Amino acid sequence: MTEEKMRFEAEVSRLLDIVVHSLYSNKDIFLRELISNASDACDKLRYEAIAKPELLAGDSEFKVRLLTDNVRNVLTIADNGIGMNKTDLIENLGTIANSGTAKFVEALSKSDKAKDVDLIGQFGVGFYSAFMVAGQVEVVTKKAGEDQAWKWSSDGKGEYTIAEAEMEGHGTQITLHLTDDFKEFTEEHRLRHIVKTYSDHIGIPVVLMKADGNDETLNEASALWTRPKSDITDEQYKEFYKHNSHAFDDPWKTIHYQAEGAIEYTGLLFLPTMRPFDLYDPARKGHLKLYVRKVFITEGADDLLPPWLRFVSGVVDSQDLPLNISREMLQHNPVLTKIKNGLTKKLLSELETASKKDSKGFETFWENFGSVVKEGLYEDYTNRDRILKLARFRSTHSDGWTTLADYVTRMKDGQKAIYYISGEDVDALKRSPQLEGFAAKGIEVLLLTDPVDEFWLPSVGQFEEKDFKSVTRGGADLADVKSDDKDDAKDDKKDDAASDASLDALIASIKIALGTNIKDVRESDRLTSSACCLIADETGMDLRMERLMKQHNRVDEISPRILEINPKHSLIKKLSDIAIKDAKTPILHDAALLLLDQARILEGEALPDPVSFARRLDLVMEKGLGS
Ligand code: ADP
Ligand code: MG
């Protein structure tokens, strides 16, 4: 018999090195991983056999069998699932095939050895966890519909071998030669306990084969979602979630229900506690599985949930779809569309309830998933209003989160719009000069930091008939808003500011100095302590929106903006005095350029010509020091 020797992919070797030498204490999980793989393999064959019943070759009672030999110290896990051919073996057991394991490896490079060990429990290492308890692992397998069986074998130290083998029927047998420390995994009570703990929810029987022929089924062996809710414990739901969703957290919400009426299906849906690491990966397939009358059809079906709910995982089992439906036929299937609408409504109402009854929990949920949910505001018109009511925001008037409804109750007399400012982080936003006038009048401003905000705002436009308005765009209209601050009255005293005539002179001279760098120069009513700031045109794009578009190459150039100057600022007053006496004084030219650069810096923008800026600043400082 010829045997081929192969090397593991470098990443696998590294992983195995850690797994083999790991002091990770909960070794039991290897069995959960192997049973889970066996059950997946049976699901795959069951699906393939819908179109090609001959693949079953008469063996249609799917099960996982456990065989022990406490003399040779061997545990075998056997299934009659899809099996693997040579190519499958190399791809699946020689490389890092699954995302949980990939994530584990990714996390490794950043941490030390002791921490790596903990990660095994957090991320799971799938098949490779067998090497935690076995010095030698043999996989004998035959793919359903093929004639040749194969034997894969390894001690987990860098190499594995593949050779032709003999096998009755199809499926996979994984034989673990346990190391002396792990004799316990041949003991019946040990296996019984592990299977009950971790694999009870597996839909096919896990059978312990006994020498006396009285084989014992160790698990419940009925699909969890088909059992009555009252028979299912929290622990069982949690284990199912972890298995089904490849998750390492506990579910935040578990929603198990029966939809009845025009469309009948069972839903077992989970909302995660933690954000999956690949939530923004366009290639990500979710973990919502579609079954038709308990037969697994597909996972991560796009047609089952809108993208803004892509973090939801679980199972949907339909009574109405035909069993022989192909994955291709699922697209635009009217039954599926109805299920999708039903699931969306159900999830929305669960979120609404949670937002009222468990506001802390909901806020944590929002921190993790709010940016994804907000995609629904421009993608899902029918549910827009409900999503908008769920949405939570940071604002100048609260340290935590606020709803739009609460914002509206805090609006000032005469305030017509819901004001917002957007940017990268809340603290930087709070310091924006554009907010000064709003702060002085006590007007609340929403602080938006998700890139997605730039997309839904233009398409939503209003909440309760109030426009959303960027504070970095157009006129601030602050004059109409009544201030509730008594001290504020003095701010309105005109004599505190530069005179109209001198300010006009200054504005004219700044315009000349800045030329086409700027669209306009205006007197500001939104500034109180800063000298100047940049504003986008009323008709133009929001400042940050435009910058974001530029970053993504959606626009070529940032369009010229408006420079607003603060007539009450002492520097502006002094410059105005100079401008009305002699508009041609060279200092005004330098000052105009410095003001523009300063406004750009406040915006967090890079200066187009930092060298000239520095030179000009030096000059002005020198003059200030007197010579
Ligand atoms: P995952 O199950 O998350 O994909 P694993 O490391 O557990 O990752 O398994 C890697 C792959 O090996 C599986 O995706 C599957 O293709 C294959 N595999 C493992 N066990 C079996 C089995 N008993 N029958 C068929 N294929 C299997
Ligand atoms: Mg697995």
- Ligand 1 pocket: which residues have CB below 6 Å? 33, 37-38, 41, 79, 81-84, 92-93, 97-98, 100-101, 126-127, 172
What order do you get walking across the sheet with 466-470 strand by strand?
398-402, 393-395, 445-448, 418-422, 466-470, 462-463
Q: What is the whole-number distance in angstroms between the Cα of residue 484 and the centre of ligand 2?
A: 62
Among residues 193, 221, 249, which one ends one of the domains?
221
Domain containing residue 280: CATH number: 3.30.230.80
Report the alpha-carbon angle 206-210-213, nearest 5: 110
CA distance between the termini of the chain: 96
In a domain, 370, yes or no: no
What are 176-197's pLDDT values in tens digits? 999 999 999 999 999 999 999 8
In a domain, 378, yes or no: no
Together in a domain, 18 and 49: yes
**Distance of alpha carbon 465 from alpha carbon 418, whole angstroms:** 10
What are 266-275's pLDDT values in tens digits? 999 999 999 8
In a domain, 413, yes or no: yes
Q: What is the whole-number distance in angstroms between the Cα of residue 127 and the centre of ligand 2?
A: 6
Ligand 1, from 66, 92, 93, 170: best to mutate by most atoms within 8 Å of Cβ? 92
Residues 6 or more apart whose Cβ sits within 8 Å of residue 314: 241, 244, 245, 255, 267, 268, 269, 270, 287, 288, 289
Together in a domain, 472 and 543: no
**Distance of alpha carbon 206 from alpha carbon 66, whole angstroms:** 7
Among residues 437, 471, 490, which one ends one of the domains?
490
Q: What is the whole-number distance in angstroms between the Cα of residue 83 and the centre of ligand 2?
A: 14
Among residues 362, 382, 405, which one ends one of the domains?
362
Together in a domain, 74 and 206: yes
Structure letter (DSSP) for residue 302: G
Together in a domain, 427 and 477: yes
Together in a domain, 27 and 173: yes
* Region 206-219 average pLDDT: 94
At 399 the three-state DSSP class reads: strand
Among residues 208, 198, 169, which one has the least CA distance to residue 75? 208
Give me the percent of the chain exceeding a pLDDT of 70. Answer: 93
The tokens 């390492």 sit on which residue?
248
In a domain, 592, yes or no: yes
What order do you get walking across the sheet with 251-259 strand by strand?
251-259, 265-272, 313-318, 288-292, 295-299
Cβ neighbours, 10 Å, residue 528: 19
Q: What is the whole-number distance in angstroms between the Cα of residue 36 and the centre of ligand 1?
A: 9
Together in a domain, 304 and 412: no
pLDDT: is 458 or 75 the higher one?
75
Residue 614 has pLDDT above 50, yes or no: yes
| Token duo for residue 576 | 């105005």
Domains identified in the chain, total number: 4
Ligand nearest to the CA of 143: 1
Residue 487 has pLDDT above 60, yes or no: no
Domain containing residue 527: CATH number: 1.20.120.790
Together in a domain, 475 and 499: no
Together in a domain, 209 and 72: yes
Residue 119 has pLDDT above 70, yes or no: no
* Region 66-70 average pLDDT: 96
Region at 614 (left for phi over 0; alpha for psi -120 to 50; beta for the rest): alpha
Instruction: Find the helix or strand (DSSP H, E) in which 501 lies.
Output: helix 500-514
What are 454-479's pLDDT values in tens digits? 889 988 989 999 999 999 887 767 77
Together in a domain, 583 and 454: no
Residue 350: CA count within 13 A, CB half-sphere:
19
Together in a domain, 187 and 234: no
Residue 361 has pLDDT above 60, yes or no: yes
Query: In which domain, by residue range, is 572 found?
Result: 494-626
User: How does residue 114 score in pLDDT terms, banded at 50, 70 and 90?
Assistant: low
**Distance of alpha carbon 298 from alpha carbon 292, whole angstroms:** 10
In a domain, 520, yes or no: yes
Residues 6 or more apart whose Cβ sits within 8 Å of residue 332: 303
**Distance of alpha carbon 27 from alpha carbon 34, whole angstroms:** 13
Together in a domain, 439 and 498: no
In a domain, 281, yes or no: yes
Together in a domain, 46 and 139: yes
Ligand 1, from 40, 42, 80: best to mutate by most atoms within 8 Å of Cβ? 40
Ligand nearest to the CA of 36: 2
